[in-house]
Structure 1
Amino acid sequence: MQKVNVCLIGSGRAGMIHAHNYSKSVPRGAIVAVCDPVAATAQAAAAELGISKWYQDYREVLLDREVDAVLIACPTKYHREIAVAAAGAKKHIFCEKPMAMNVAECDEMIAAADQNGVKLQIGFMRRFDESFREAKKMIEEGEIGEIVLVKSQTRGPSKPKEWMFDIAKSNGPLAEVNSHDIDTLRWLTGSEVKRVFAIGGNFRNKEVANTYPDFYDNVIMNMEFENGMQGCIDGAMYVQYGYDARVEILGTDGVICIGDMHEKKLLTCTRHQAMKRPTMHSWTYLFKDAYIAEDISFVNAILDNTPVAVSGFDGKMAVYVVKAGNQSIVEKKIIELIK
């Protein structure tokens, strides 16, 4: 195999970012087909990508001998079913986060990939971002001493989709928004989460409070890691002011800050003594290069037969922490994560 031919399953925003990368920015990969249950959506995606092959049923994709790998970017509740079937068809798997609905589903996906000798990579693209990678290097070199606390926040401007309001179907903002933060903290601390305490509330979508009383659009989760380090996650949906993803790493001898609220190095001052600077509008812009890097990494792992950079175990542990956080919100107590 000289090049990895990929089929996108689920042609929403995240999926199409990957698809466009494979069409022009991944030298050893190519997008050859798309799959979406809505025919018009699948056709439109194929046309946008300049390819002719599209499917409505993922099972037909798995019969296509031209397809070497699938890129799963559909709603989380379908991830396990598609990934297990893809592994059985000897297709390599890139799965967007969250990996699955629960730990048991993650275990099934990991086992299926192992048993069939295919790669399984999870879409935590922040590990491929230049600033995050530099921060990781600085930590390893001891530039700020011993790590004490890692704080990570992600706040998104979009109003939640209807299915997101049902925590049983979406696992809530901790999964949809903060999976990246959870993985970032595991990666930067080099440790697993020992215990969590989380609080959540619905502040911006109060019209759904009666129908979805458990829904929260704002969450704070404190964590203690097995190595003694501390963590804090701040998540929010529908903040409207912009996309806001930042990290602070506090050490015994210093601090590392990643990210800011600004999209461009542009500042306007007017005769009204007002200052204006545009905020970051979307994660698609902020992590554009990181998406390309993770797609290249996935293809290289297949062609060079090397371990993937972000494993199924990484995806599983993020799901584990999400479930513990949601339990903490409901039960209003500290939740211990059992090894």
Structure 2
Amino acid sequence: MTPKLVGICVMGLGEMGIIHARNLARAPGVEVSLASRRKDALHVLGTELHVPPERWFASYESALASPQIDAVVIATRPTEHPTHIQAAAAAGKHVFCEKPLGVAVRDIEQALAAVSDARRRQHPRPLLFMTGFHRRYDPSYHRGKQLLEADRIGQPTVFKGTSGDPEYPVKYQRDIGYPALLLDLAVHDIDLARWLLRSEVRQVHTVCAALVYPHLLGLGDADTGVVVLEMENGTLASLHLCRAFQYGYNVTSELVGARGSLQLGELKGAGEAVRVLGADGQSAERIVWDFGERFAQAFAREMQVFAEAVHSGSLPPDAPTEVDGLEATRVAEAMVRSWRTGQPQRVER
């Protein structure tokens, strides 16, 4: 007997929506639909992925109303995520939402209340919710987690994270209206710190500056930041956030333990760990320029995990849920308060 296909609709066809749609199109047992307000984007991607036009939706409302769709991947603007989470929950659809779940804790909590209501209505069939913290599915970070759990470096003491782009994305310089460095970029490292150190964040101290793009301060944002996290279990984390590395896309980390350390992450794409030594004594290696190339395997794996969960009716134990998404923004809000006041801030719960 042929297994039942699950219908998954990607809502929003910007960079991440396109990446997720392409990965879902390759996932077994998935019938992909596309939803976007931009008809040109629907036509181009729908044609590329051989999605029939009857599964192209020019509005998110029509997609959510379709009985063909069991689950949605929300890849719209971060400010729209809470609204679309609520609508998807009301429609009884399983949800994968890109990070951040929103740019304000109060909006996310309101959206997640709708998810809780939907779960009560649908009991015993669970409504699944997965947050797009793809770094958990990167081979290097996944292996680091395994080694940590196997006690290879002893009790963890410090997490050091570096995250950033080669340049500040133009889309974030269009009067975005919120500190994206902290509310959008930093949530990845917040999740890694919580996941690897197995603890919640108690207090943060943030320093940010606009050193390469001075005009960002007028938009309430920055291109460079350093944050210290004090965890509830006594461990520490330091984050270096940057939108102006110039040399390439850099997401690397170190996890220090009582008996050693783990170096995590790469500056290269899969299969490109090649260093070239020149006769002039210089060395060079190709560094990836964008997140799509660096985390191609992780993005593919997280869509596979979500599709399998929709099939089976349950998420695997280590999958990032709505709780992880909410907590990351809760910590990021404390970072913003710390930056604006110049003082350490407790995480409000």
TM-score > 0.5 by shorter chain: yes
- Report deviation, 1:186: 0.5
Q: Contact 1:113 / 1:119 at 8 angstroms: preserved in 2? A: no
Q: Supply the distance in 2 between the matched residues of 1:4 and 1:164 (Cα, whole angstroms).
A: 38
For residues 176-213 of structure 1, the C-alpha deviation after alignment (integer angstroms, 9 at most, x for no partner) is 2221111000000111000000000001212454x42x
Amino acid at match of 1:11: L
- 1:221 aligned to which of 227, 247, 250: 227
Q: Please say which of residues 156-165 and 192-201 is displaced more in the overlay.
A: 156-165
Amino acid at match of 1:226: E
Distance 1:234 1:64, change over 3 A: same
Distance 1:260 1:303, change over 3 A: closer
Q: Supply the distance in 2 between the matched residues of 1:174 and 1:312 (Cα, whole angstroms).
A: 19
Using the size of structure 2 for normalisation, the TM-score is: 0.90
Q: Supply the distance in 2 between the matched residues of 1:163 and 1:261 (Cα, whole angstroms).
A: 23
Q: Supply the distance in 1 between the matched residues of 2:74 and 2:141 (Cα, whole angstroms).
A: 24
Please name the residue that 1:138 is paired with. 147
Please name the residue that 1:332 is paired with. 342
Matches within 5 A, 1:199-278: 199-209=207-217, 211-212=218-219, 214-263=220-269, 264-278=272-286
Q: Contact 1:18 / 1:295 at 8 angstroms: preserved in 2? A: yes
- For the residue of structure 1 that corresponds to 2:314, the secondary structure is coil
- 1:314 aligned to which of 324, 327, 346: 324
Please name the residue that 1:34 is paired with. 34
Please name the residue that 2:129 is paired with. 120
Please name the residue that 2:138 is paired with. 129
- For the residue of structure 1 that corresponds to 2:10, the secondary structure is strand
Q: Which aligned runs of 4 or more in structure 1 are off by greater than 6 angstroms?
A: none
- For the residue of structure 2 that corresponds to 1:235, the secondary structure is strand
- 2:301 aligned to which of 285, 293, 296: 293
For residues 193-248 of structure 1, the C-alpha deviation after alignment (integer angstroms, 9 at most, x for no partner) is 00000000001212454x42x32110111010000010111111132210000010
Q: How many residues align?
A: 334
- For the residue of structure 2 that corresponds to 1:144, the secondary structure is coil
Amino acid at match of 1:100: G
- 1:9 aligned to which of 8, 11, 29: 11
2:49 aligned with 1:49, yes or no? yes
Q: Which runs of 5+ in 2 are unaligned?
A: 120-126
2:79 aligned with 1:73, yes or no? no
- 1:147 aligned to which of 143, 156, 164: 156
Q: Supply the distance in 2 between the matched residues of 1:204 and 1:215 (Cα, whole angstroms).
A: 12
- Report deviation, 1:164: 5.0
- Report deviation, 1:56: 2.6
- For the residue of structure 2 that corresponds to 1:258, the secondary structure is strand
- For the residue of structure 1 that corresponds to 2:62, the secondary structure is helix
Please name the residue that 2:124 is paired with. none
- Report deviation, 1:272: 3.6
Q: Contact 1:164 / 1:170 at 8 angstroms: preserved in 2? A: no
For residues 88-110 of structure 1, the C-alpha deviation after alignment (integer angstroms, 9 at most, x for no partner) is 11111110001112122222232
Q: Supply the distance in 2 between the matched residues of 1:311 and 1:266 (Cα, whole angstroms).
A: 36
Q: Contact 1:198 / 1:221 at 8 angstroms: preserved in 2? A: yes
Q: Contact 2:334 / 2:348 at 8 angstroms: preserved in 1? A: no
Amino acid at match of 1:334: P
- For the residue of structure 2 that corresponds to 1:178, the secondary structure is helix
- Report deviation, 1:302: 2.1
- For the residue of structure 2 that corresponds to 1:227, the secondary structure is coil
Q: Supply the distance in 1 between the matched residues of 2:260 and 2:130 (Cα, whole angstroms).
A: 33
Please name the residue that 2:287 is paired with. 279
For residues 113-166 of structure 1, the C-alpha deviation after alignment (integer angstroms, 9 at most, x for no partner) is 232232111000111122212211221221111111001111112433354565
- For the residue of structure 1 that corresponds to 2:67, the secondary structure is coil
Matches within 5 A, 1:162-173: 162-164=171-173, 166=175, 169-173=177-181
Q: Contact 2:172 / 2:180 at 8 angstroms: preserved in 1? A: no
RMSD (CA atoms): 1.8
